[in-house]
A and B are shown apart, each in its own frame.
Chain A
């Protein structure tokens, strides 16, 4: 798995001139750009771990920008989508925003407006990917726990005393203390509070 090392701006627009000019404009700012003439071609080439943002024409023949956005949501992609639309497409733009689009721009637009939005979208993408990586690390640590240790973790986050846990698990208090220490060590949690936060983060992601 070779993720694109540099965050990239992806452009999907069926209009050759619009697509090509966007590519040139983004390149002139020094951004990496990949451009596609249709939604299916982009979907075929894109992998969700590729960082960057997506500039998407809302109105295209075949699969529209809105349909592509839904496909990306289904795949669990986090890449922020900036829609570009004409004057008559405000209702479609509203719908796009409701489905989690990052922003939208009306054609034609000032280069500065585009750059601002692209940069914000890239920052958002970096932040979400950072968060994802953190969650991934937490998951890895929790995955390293034994079944018994996971049981203890469950009781710890509920705030149970060692004595109560020992009673519930049918083991000695001493054994509970050893499991607790192993849980704190493996999860690299510095406090019970941090441990609770980690488990909540994972729960939220799985929702």
Chain B
């Protein structure tokens, strides 16, 4: 060492030893002049072991071979690759093991020939953390790309900062054509744009991780519209301020179409069954009205003839006139009791299995039940006898009962709404259908009027459903009854007799 330690240099040594980084002073030929405590901690050498030796002993590979060259080039040309910028190097410990380190180098001002000070920081942990983060990010990317859900991240100005492969697939566009551009302008049809922007603005006001659900369509490059069900959450930085929105979306275009088709089929069926009932009723009414009309015509025509007889009996004529009045009133009564004619109409009887009717009906009401979040459970008994019945009418009854259940379950929290449809035979051999829900049940004061026409507790409804249902069931010689479900809810029991052998 060229200089003896002075008070000043003791203070300097204390400063150096307090530093976290290894601090090494070398001269212009690379000989180590100062080596601090952290140097000992990092490299395993005591200062005595390294001071006076070339610094290249602390490094490896290309750096070890060429360190003398670096110094020589600097001294010659003044060009440096390390001074003022620093770089990552591989350092070598006394035991020969290596560790990644960040090296910053400075020239000691005014020293001639120049002397250099180097700061060496062990970056093993930093590197590991970086690698772990990279790994994490790679894996996240893989998930992102493999996801069957569309994932889009927007910044606060609604510019796309990330979109996954599924998103690109649905839109038929490259990632590069979407990144950085306004999402709503680029892919949302203009008529839905303001609604979509409004919906998304709601997300900023939500708690972190609380999702906002919405639905809007995106248009693909081929012009096709895809209806997407979106789940949006706010993206926050470390300080908790919202930096953007992560939206995950499922393409529900096909589901929606299936739902719509099912709804259409159901409406068609309702329409047909209504028409069928109306047609049958019209035929029944015309038959019933014909009777009094015929009598009236006969009495009137007889009266005319009686009066034309030379010695006519006015008593006969008076009686005929009284009959005419009576029959006219009878005709009026028939019209007033329109409903009761369903009972008298000729029905289209055919052999059918009640389970088959229920299964058929269930497929038509599935979409309806799902949209109301109602679970329909079928508990159908095997080997039930076929019944002679009017399919459309009985399905109308079942549909009506099922619709009542679904309506009644509105007051129950979603996820707990259940309808159980069961079938079986009674001890007498009759076939029964039980439709049970776990809704609020029927209020005791409503019970006496349950099957009375125009008595309803629904805001929408004619109050004819159960009355007509019971009339239809009685026309089949069956029964329609109610009992309370346990612990809660309503059960409607439809019983139909097995009439095999009675028809011949």
* B residues neighboring A (CB under 8 Å): 283, 286-287, 290-299, 301-303, 305-306, 309, 316, 320, 323, 326-327, 330
Residue pair B305, A18 in contact (C-beta under 8 Å): no
Please, how many angstroms separate the alpha-carbon atoms of A155 and B317 in the complex?
66
Residue pair B293, A88 in contact (C-beta under 8 Å): no
Chain B residues near A95 (CB, 8 Å)? none
* Residues A109 and B299 in contact in the complex (CB < 8 Å), given A28-B306, A87-B290: no
Q: Mark A23-66, 1 if CB is under 8 A from B, else 0.
A: 01101110000000000000000000000000000010000000
Number of interface residues of A (CB under 8 A): 22
Please, how many angstroms separate the alpha-carbon atoms of A27 and B287 in the complex?
26
Q: Looking at the complex, which one of A22, A24, A84, A111 makes contact with B316 (CB distance below 8 Å)?
A: A24
Residue pair A88, B286 in contact (C-beta under 8 Å): yes
Query: Which residues of chain A from 2 to 28 have a CB within 8 Å of any chain B CB?
Result: 15, 17-18, 20-22, 24-25, 27-28
Please, how many angstroms separate the alpha-carbon atoms of A28 and B302 in the complex?
6
Chain B residues near A15 (CB, 8 Å)? 291, 295
Most buried by B among A15, A25, A86, A107: A25
Across the interface, name the chain A residue whose C-beta is closest to B291. A15
* Residues A88 and B323 in contact in the complex (CB < 8 Å), given A17-B292, A108-B293, A109-B297: no
Across the interface, name the chain A residue whose C-beta is closest to B312. A28
Please, how many angstroms separate the alpha-carbon atoms of A89 and B299 in the complex?
23
* Residues A108 and B297 in contact in the complex (CB < 8 Å), given A24-B302, A59-B287, A86-B290: yes
Residue pair A17, B330 in contact (C-beta under 8 Å): yes
| Chain B proximity of A16: nearest CB distance (Å) | 9
Query: Which residues of chain A from 82 to 121 have a CB within 8 Å of any chain B CB?
Result: 84, 86-89, 107-111
| Chain A proximity of B310: nearest CB distance (Å) | 12
Residue pair B294, A108 in contact (C-beta under 8 Å): yes
| Chain A proximity of B167: nearest CB distance (Å) | 63
Please, how many angstroms separate the alpha-carbon atoms of A110 and B300 in the complex?
11
* Residues A18 and B291 in contact in the complex (CB < 8 Å), given A25-B301, A28-B302, A28-B305: yes
Residue pair B298, A25 in contact (C-beta under 8 Å): yes
Chain B residues near A87 (CB, 8 Å)? 283, 286-287, 290
Known: A24-B298, A24-B302. 17 other contacts (CB 8 A): A15-B291, A18-B294, A18-B298, A21-B295, A21-B296, A21-B323, A25-B301, A25-B305, A28-B305, A86-B287, A86-B290, A87-B286, A107-B291, A108-B293, A111-B297, A111-B302, A111-B305
Chain B residues near A17 (CB, 8 Å)? 291-292, 295, 323, 326-327, 330
Please, how many angstroms separate the alpha-carbon atoms of A165 and B238 in the complex?
136
Most buried by A among B283, B297, B299, B326: B297
Please, how many angstroms separate the alpha-carbon atoms of A168 and B313 in the complex?
74
Across the interface, name the chain B residue whose C-beta is closest to A112. B301
Chain A residues near B326 (CB, 8 Å)? 17
Across the interface, name the chain A residue whose C-beta is closest to B327. A17
| Chain A proximity of B316: nearest CB distance (Å) | 7
Chain B residues near A84 (CB, 8 Å)? 294
Q: Looking at the complex, which one of B283, B286, B299, B309 makes contact with A21 (CB distance below 8 Å)?
A: B299
Please, how many angstroms separate the alpha-carbon atoms of A25 and B309 in the complex?
13
Chain A residues near B323 (CB, 8 Å)? 17, 20-21
* Residues A24 and B287 in contact in the complex (CB < 8 Å), given A17-B292, A108-B294: no
Q: Looking at the complex, which one of A20, A28, A59, A109 makes contact with B309 (CB distance below 8 Å)?
A: A28
Most buried by B among A21, A29, A59: A21
| Chain A proximity of B75: nearest CB distance (Å) | 121
Please, how many angstroms separate the alpha-carbon atoms of A24 and B290 in the complex?
18
**Which 5 pairs across A and B sit closest by C-beta, in order of nearness?**
A21-B298, A17-B295, A111-B301, A28-B305, A25-B302
Q: Looking at the complex, which one of A25, A88, A108 makes contact with B287 (CB distance below 8 Å)?
A: A88
Q: Can you list 19 A-B contacts with CB-CB less than 8 angstroms, sorted by A residue number?
A: A17-B291, A17-B323, A18-B291, A20-B295, A21-B295, A24-B306, A25-B298, A25-B299, A25-B301, A25-B302, A28-B305, A28-B306, A29-B305, A86-B286, A86-B290, A108-B298, A109-B294, A110-B301, A111-B298
